[in-house]
Amino acid sequence: MQLNQLTISELTAKLARREVSAREVLQSCLDQIGRVDGKIHAFLSHDADDALAQADAADKLLSEGGSAGRPLLGVPVAVKDVLAVKDQPLNCGSKILGQFVSPYNATVVDKLKAAGAIVFGRLNMDEFAMGSSTENSAFGVTRNPWDPTRIPGGSSGGSAAAVAADEVIAALGSDTGGSIRQPAALCGCVGLKPTYGRVSRYGLVAFASSLDQIGPFTKNVRDAATMLGVMGGHDPRDSTSVPQPVPDYAAALTGSSPDGPTIKGLKLGLPKEYLIGGLDAEVKSAVDAAVKTFQELGAEIVEISLPHTDYAVATYYIIATAEASANLARFDGIRYGRRVDGADPVELYSKTRGAGFGDEVKRRIILGTYVLSSGYYDAYYLRAQKVRTLIRNDFLKAYETVDAIITPTTPTAAFKIGEKSDDPLQMYLSDIFTISCNLAGICGISLPCGFTKNPKLPIGLQLLGRPFGEATLLQIAHAYERGTGWHSEKPPL
């Protein structure tokens, strides 16, 4: 195995023993980027000199025995182009930000750096995180490492593809309606969406503020636990972050026995509403097999009902677009980004936004503005917020009897580039299994659970946990992963 293929726990062990240097690890990632990124296009840019300087600083700390309290010392982590990294470009996959350079770090970036990570690279995404395929990036599509004619998922498609293609050890993404879990499923890596409020969003460019969360992409569940342990926690600079202690998620996976804590006796819910018509037969059989694995591991499977599932996509596209139309008002050509001049401010705003935003962003701004406009607010936005309550209550009721919920992450494996790009509604419906989690504000994880036969494409299993129930969620995912070998398969690059 090459260094760039290793997990966080494997790497940190080697680094602590000084078997390898952080510079060698980073160089191995840079070499892989040079070798495969022309084909994948996961990265929009990366500052190799800055990353190597960080690696040298990590090596200095390692030589001084400084790994205590720094669980990511020397580990390269790349970030989605929606998170601020001081003195690095930030474009959100859009033309409208022009030559924007971040004047400060996002809180998660500060936390990663304090934990010793080498934070580098800008990963491709759907413009302003709006999309499910990364085809909406203004800088070209990212390709799926398992089949370059297919999409990697989205909106964090670059993050998922970079981790799956071993261009980086871990990555950050954001998830508003599935933008971490869906691409993780389609690229065959682990993607975690934490509970709303678990991770500070300071320095994340806002899409839909009541739904957005930042989360990690990793090569296995243990690494996701390590990342969340670093990223989580209250931040006075994000008033929606929750002052609740952050448990040692990674340590909780080890438990008292060498195989980790048992999931014997835990109850897992199988929602009957998720076995829908559009569910691909191979995806269904992979999830059925996963259910059997959980039974063999001693979990009890319970059929449950989430009766408002069918209304989630419609609810989401009202709430998310309404919030987006307000959040994206700040891109007006006055304080930063591109400007197209006009005779007066209103003309300047309209021309700048017309020239700077892509099709999907325009579509959502118009829809969001419409549902909030005078005379329509009650009929659309307020009604959607009430349906949101019903959806959230479905989950809270289910968690009275089950510890987590099992679903497919997506109805199908990765689709072809261009297949759905002319039909926005079909694209929206591909998010059907991931959207409810954001509306309910709970946590969710996607992990590999098999492959389609021909072509060979990854299939993702989604586990949904209680609010702030990440520790249990990760234990369940970890138990499954140990019982199978799907996560260690590599794409043919």
Partner 1 sequence: MASAEIDIKYVAHLARLQLTPDEEKKLGAQLGHILGYIEKLNELDVAGVEPTAHAVPMVNVTRPDEIRPSLSPEDALRNAPARANGLFMVPKIVE
Positions marked active-site = 80, 155, 179
Q: Closer CB to partner 1, residue 9 or residue 91?
A: 91
Q: How far is the CB of 197 from partner 1 (least distance, A)?
A: 4
| Position 315 contacts partner 1 (CB under 8 A) | yes
The three-state DSSP-derived secondary structure of the chain is CCHHHCCHHHHHHHHHCCCCCHHHHHHHHHHHHHHHHHHHCCEEECCHHHHHHHHHHHHHHHHCCCCCCCCCCCCEEEEECCECCCCCECCCCCCCCCCCECCCCCHHHHHHHHCCCEEEEEECCCHHHCCCCCCCCCCCCCCECCECCECCCCCCHHHHHHHHCCCCCEEEEEECCCCCHHHHHHHCCEEEECCCCCECCCCECCCCCCCCEEEEEECCHHHHHHHHHHHECCCCCCCCCCCCCCCCHHHHHHCCCCCCCCCCCCEEEEEHHHCCCCCCHHHHHHHHHHHHHHHHCCCEEEEECCCCHHHHHHHHHHHHHHHHHHHHHHCCCCCCCCCCCCCCHHHHHHHHHHHHCCHHHHHHHHHHHHHHCCCCCHHHHHHHHHHHHHHHHHHHHHCCCCCEEEEECCCCCCCECCCCCCCHHHHHHCCCCCHHHHHHCCEEEEEEEEECCCCCCEEEEEEEECCCCHHHHHHHHHHHHHCCCHHHCCCCC
| Span from 120-128, 251-259, 334-342, 400-408 in contact with partner 1 (CB under 8 A) | 334-342
Per CB under 8 A, the list member of 392, 456, 482, 490 interacting with partner 1 is 392
> Rounded to whole angstroms, how far apart are CA atoms 147 and 125?
18
Q: How far is the CB of 203 from partner 1 (least distance, A)?
A: 12
| Positions in 101-120 near partner 1 (CB under 8 A) | 101, 103-104
| Positions in 64-103 near partner 1 (CB under 8 A) | 98-101, 103
Q: How far is the CB of 407 from partner 1 (least distance, A)?
A: 19
Q: How far is the CB of 82 from partner 1 (least distance, A)?
A: 16
- For residues 205 to 234, the per-residue mask of contacts with partner 1, x marking binding by CB under 8 A and - elsewhere, is -----x------------------------
Per CB under 8 A, the list member of 177, 333, 448, 465 interacting with partner 1 is 333
Q: How far is the CB of 456 from partner 1 (least distance, A)?
A: 34
| Positions in 8-47 near partner 1 (CB under 8 A) | none
Q: Closer CB to partner 1, residue 380 or residue 480?
A: 380
Distances (CA, A) of 15 to 23, 54, 77, 85, 168: 10, 15, 15, 25, 16
| Position 339 contacts partner 1 (CB under 8 A) | yes
| Positions in 410-429 near partner 1 (CB under 8 A) | 424-425, 428
- Most distant CA pair in the chain: distance in Å? 71
Q: Closer CB to partner 1, residue 168 or residue 322?
A: 322
| Position 311 contacts partner 1 (CB under 8 A) | yes
**Number of chain residues interacting with partner 1 (CB under 8 A):** 77
Q: Closer CB to partner 1, residue 257 or residue 374?
A: 374
Q: Closer CB to partner 1, residue 16 or residue 348?
A: 348
| Span from 1-9, 199-207, 436-444, 458-466 in contact with partner 1 (CB under 8 A) | 436-444
Q: How far is the CB of 339 from partner 1 (least distance, A)?
A: 4
- For residues 130 to 169, the per-residue mask of contacts with partner 1, x marking binding by CB under 8 A and - elsewhere, is ----------------------------------------
- For residues 162 to 201, the per-residue mask of contacts with partner 1, x marking binding by CB under 8 A and - elsewhere, is ----------------------------------xx----
Q: How far is CA 468 from the centre of its chain?
A: 17
| Position 353 contacts partner 1 (CB under 8 A) | yes
| Span from 13-21, 277-285, 369-377, 454-462 in contact with partner 1 (CB under 8 A) | 369-377
Burial degree of 284 (CB within 10 A; 0-12, 13-18, 19+): middle
| Position 388 contacts partner 1 (CB under 8 A) | yes
Distances (CA, A) of 125 to 95, 237, 429: 13, 25, 19
| Position 314 contacts partner 1 (CB under 8 A) | yes
Q: Closer CB to partner 1, residue 9 or residue 434?
A: 434
| Position 354 contacts partner 1 (CB under 8 A) | yes
- For residues 453 to 492, the per-residue mask of contacts with partner 1, x marking binding by CB under 8 A and - elsewhere, is --------------x-------------------------
Q: How far is the CB of 328 from partner 1 (least distance, A)?
A: 9
